[in-house]
Structure 1
Amino acid sequence: MKRARVGFGGLIHEATEEKGRVKLMDGRLVDETEVVWLPPIQPQTVFALGLNYADHAEELSFSAPKEPLVFLKGPNTFIGHRGHTIRPSDVTFMHYECELAVVIGKTGKNITRENAYDYVSGYTIANDYAIRDYLENYYRPNLRVKNRDKCTPIGPWFVHKTAIKDPMNLTLRTYINGKIKQEGTTADMVFDIPYLIEYLSSFMTLNENDLILTGTPKGSVDTKVGDEVVTEIEGIGKLINTVVNEQHQIN
């Protein structure tokens, strides 16, 4: 079952998907354009992976890392499905990053890769935009690149792990204004999900609703104001986002 959090009628509702529509917990069926989409879970600690697809590292003229390249993201960065992400007026290259987001389901420390999936509750989609103008280098993505307000759409659905037969064999695609620009597979991750859970939990405790954003394959291209960007992952859904200018900034 797919699960979401939405705003409707002045209230926040838990919701599910039924026949392409949004079903509220009170049984009402509404169109997805009638609700305000929130992140499907309320993220706690968020780990993001850099250069975790060899083909993406190669297109940036890097070698694949020898150990996970991990940085943290704050809760201010996340917005829901059909949200707006601001492109600053001074930048020349702002690109999407379609990523499988792994949701941790329970507390654990020193988790072995053999037991890693026991600590996963499910999955969602993240579009972790990056502004290359602000990038110091790919081994040191600074705060302005990855922690800007509302820079990371997430959702629309949380999908329980039992609905995903093999999370390491899912197709990822990104479309700009209806045209496909990126296509890859989670099978090409440098460090797979069990490895990442074992690695992270070896030095810190993982908790419920922690997120691991597992990186993006090759094919990241510039986006412009007005572009509709759709990031899609097999079995999870399509996450829609629009790039807007700074006049949409709400202080």
Structure 2
Amino acid sequence: MDSPDPTDPIYRSDPYARDVSAKVVSHTDEGGIVLDKSNFYPTGGGQPGDSGWIDWDGHSLAIATTVKGDTGASVLVPAEPAQVPPIGAHVMQRLDWERRHKHMRVHTALHLLSVVIPLPVTGGSIGAGRGRLDFMMPEPPENRDALEAELNRLIDQDLVVSERWITDDDLDANPSLVKTMSVQPPRGNGRIRLVQIGEDAAPTDLQPCGGTHVARTGEIGRVLFGKIENKGKQNRRVNIALEI
């Protein structure tokens, strides 16, 4: 199962799409806006929902965040109570690209962090310039600086980041692909997206993920380690930040 469904949301098929036209198909009871196609990523998998603006007929509405609706569609949440475009209106989505791109850089860096520290992941979070993974790590690492250097060495290799698709049965046959204990890949449509870093013959990392990532690791830039926090007898939290 090598290719994605052509009906995949734009943020997945083209994470670099910034300005995208669409049509309003519905409103939620809470005032959210659902479009027929969206480049706004909804909160999920530790990655925050996208923000930005939508424009129509001389109006502009700020979008504070994006969440996933009951059908899986992106629901754009206005920043404040205001006039929303009516159902059927044609709008232009304008992504807060600087914020999204930082999410993409951090998210990809966290994939590489799970390579540098090959331990089970118990949690994680992505921010605009910062992120963290929680590991099943009873003792702190002996050489924090060496881990930071290894992470940046992988980034500097400018590895290709790509995707492939497998079936639920394929994943069941290869359970080691799932690194995150706290979040399981979504199932139900018969296919699962894998994000791959590196070449097909010997990928540096390969794991299920529905988030957005940069196209090559060199785009991440230099990453700095922050605190390594004790989160209980078995867990350590490793914080990283983009060097901006």
TM-score (norm 1): 0.26
Q: Over alpha carbons, which structure has the higher Rg?
A: 2
TM-score, normalised relative to structure 2: 0.26
Question: Of the two structures, which has the highest relative contact order with CA contacts closer than 8 Å and spacing of 6 or more?
Answer: 1
Higher strand proportion, which one? 1
